[in-house]
Structure 1
Amino acid sequence: MVVAEITLGDLLHWQRGLTFRPAIGEREDSALERSITWAVTVRTTQPILPALRGGEIVVVPPRRLERLREADIGGATDLVRLLADQPITALMVDPEFAEHQLPGVRLLVTSGTFPHDAEATLNRLLTERRAELYRVGSELSRALSAASISGAGLDALLDSASAVVSRELVLQDADGALLASSRGARDRGALPTGTIQRLLRGTDGEAARISTVDGVTWLAQPVALVDGRPGRRGSVLAIQVSATASREAERLVLAQTAAAVELMLGQGGEAVRAASERANREALVADLLFGRLVSREAADARARLLGIDPTRPTRVALLSSSSGNLPSRVRGTLPHDRKLPGAAVGDGEYALILADPARLAQDRRDIGAVARTLRTSDPALLLVFSEEVRGAANVSQALAQARALARLASCGAIHGEVIDAGDVVTTGLFGLLYPLYSGQDLDRASGRDRLQAFATALLGPLEAHDRKRKADLVPTLDAWLQHGGALAEAAEQLDVHRNTLAYRLGRVEQLTGLTLSDTRTRLLLQVALAVRSMENALNSD
């Protein structure tokens, strides 16, 4: 297990009463990265310090310094000269002592009264923080091992590390391409290419490790990966950090995860190329799914680049879950011989474009099999198929519809593990209401088309039966619903026996496959009958 070091920067975050002064001629950012082992206090008799192993904070209380002078052992200047060549990290002194700073010595300057128990306080704090780091390191080691053994890929590895400290991680190659990321950082790179290349060259020292991008601060380190292409070397792993808090836990996660990434890829250039190509392809697909392209022509060109015929009818399949790591789990479960264009579209969402009518049935079966496999460990997972749209430029509308239905299902408004937007019984009134709410009607020519399709889906089998048999199942259903399901009143209006009415309602259930005792089904049928009444009235001329 990688052991994290505690640095001067960490100590200054914990002890706000200390002011730091780097050694003369030393860069402050580099000095703050110096590690700390323990605190020791100067003695008033020879030897004035215990054996130093390196990394100590030497505490110099003013009273002890005064006693050293009284004993003619030396003053502040003598002490600084004595320690200048020692492997200590810094001196903890009062403001008066700080006036004697010489090259080679870093100072932690107290404010107010010098603490009488400074050594004990510092060592207790260091012990507590090391215990916490050991706990985090042990938990992280178990999580990384499980992710590596599972074979789920780099995204799953970074997700497991992210879960330990609730920080996002990204892995980028030397050109800035996103090779992998934890789920909260999907579809975006953390660091600009210039920052990555400076870090890989090591020209800016420790300063290159900290970057703030769009208000988010990242701590980064190179990862020893080689992707096999001329002129390309290395990758960078970055973790999101607080701009104002200590970062010892994040450094531990970064170092330990980097080691796991190197081990997983085994210096394998082919693995890096595959991850980079997958990330680049998903970025192209995401542009289509989110409607980011500036024109229909640009969308058509992007579709052709992805092997999609932009003139064909297209649907979107959306896998949605509230649990983490869904995109990487989907990628690891999809058939490897199928190159369905897909991309992560949210923390727990992965969308695929279905653009080949000849393979639509097989695509649906394959994606359904993926959903069933994932559902064994994620029972809440949903699979949603959008309605058909025409043209690559309209794929974003299909995604929006699928996401809306997934959200309705997640809050219990729609029921089912697999939801087809074209299934009126499953989507119910939401299939009619969504276009009004969203202001778009996908590939429908008009609202009338959608209303007619809704009514036909529910009443079509009954209308066909009535035409063929010269029967009255539709009027029977209408009368029964108008009387709130009361057999006696409906039978009286229709002038038939109650048993005859009950028989007809049984035939309605047989032909439609619906359960008339379900209140939701009754509402759908009432709306469908109202649509037919409106059609008849408006078309009577």
Structure 2
Amino acid sequence: MRVTVGDLVRIPHLRLDLFAGGGGLDRPVSWAHASDLDSVRDWLAGGELLIRNGRTLPPLGADQAELLRNLADVGASGLVVGEDPQTPALCDELAAAAEDCGIPLLVAPYSVGFAAISRAVADANSRDDAARVGQVERVYAAVRDALGGVPAESPVARLSRELGCRLLLLDAASAHPVDPSAPEPPPELRAAVRAAVRACAGKIPGVLRLPSADSGTSLAVEVPAEEPTLLVVEGLPSASSDTSLLHHLATVAAVEVARHAMALEHQRRVHGELLAHLLDARTDAPTARHELETAGLDPSTCVLVAAQHGDEPGRRDLHLTLGRRRIPHLLLSREPLLLALLPDDPDVLMTVRNKLGPAVLLGVGNALGVPDRLPTAHKEAMWALNLAATSEDRIARYGDDSAHTVLRSIDEARVVVDRVLGPLLAYDAAHRTDLVGSLDAFLHCRRSWQRTAAALNVHKQTVMYRMQRVEQLTGRTLATTGDLAELWIALQARELLGGPARTEGPGSHFRGASV
């Protein structure tokens, strides 16, 4: 049996005086908690006696009353105000709120330390220690059994049964269960979780309180994990509802989160191999379609996305984010790119972008349609990725209009490259030269012989000789605007098709022997 507020008032050496709220003297006290925070309700689970320095009380009566009503909302047992020379007057509004809420308001003299009150509560509740220890033992027995083998039920499910409450392990952002096989919580609870997380900007306090149709109020605590995770507790007996037990439960939940993360990591590897086989055309069409459908992807409504320059932690944990949100996906890392086959949905793309960070470039291909179109979809995504580098929002779709290219398709780009640059590419391959790179440098240096020579780290006469060879092999003149436009577009087409990208710096364009 827990000590009550009235029991503490009757302890002579504490010298606690009842100021108001006498109707709540029979409230049990689980713990005495000293805090001067105005938002202390975020750190209480219910049953605590709050002790507060008088000098930190709001001076206005309305604010004093609001403080006490907040304590009533979270089920606190009472409020002790420690008097000191700077304590403001305890207003009539405060007394009225104490009477209305049935929350005892006690005054402790300046000479009585808060530690004496906390020790009195602990000593009076010492007979409940065995029950508390038994609860904690059950909590960690569930961990031990989970780590020792495959349990018949999850640790969270087991503790729900043993503690006589409902425990839900939820993704903090989406409020989906971490375990994909677990039933979804009621829609109103999911909405309450998302609203509470948004309200605190993702910074979860000690205890979140969520409205619940079944039990009035649900408690939620953060679970240590790579992805933001909450353990929601419904119907926990009041004798057990202290923050220490809640955080013990969160530790157990972390073990279960890690187990699900391992399962998602295994799935990521398997799906990555599947995507590699599809990209390399190593899987026949019927098998590919079956594998995609098994992974939850409809070829007619999914797209291949190429991502570059994403944050490393985001790349590492993207599969966890997508898995938690029930987004089917295949991921494959091919440095420096991350390739993802995903449903064609703006919200899905935004999820990927947010996870990979603001520096990421995203190129999105057309709808896949059929599995054996993946090699082409890969070229489309790479095309779009190159366009994304010039886009303000760093994301582009294949076929989007672009100011820097008039090319409309991969096939058209390939024709332009073959027709205009074909002789140069053949010459470079046969003679181990880089006339194409030299031409690219020349045009990017605005046809300046001197700047091009500096960029290529060669003599100006060498640049002039190479450009003469370019004119001879392509049949185009660098002094003619139309010919220049053709050569420029062809170089852009080659880069969009996955050719070597231009790199700044001396000698960066020429890698072969002299010509």
Normalising by the residue count of structure 2, what TM-score does the alignment of the two structures yield?
0.32
After TM superposition, the score normalised by the length of structure 1 is 0.30
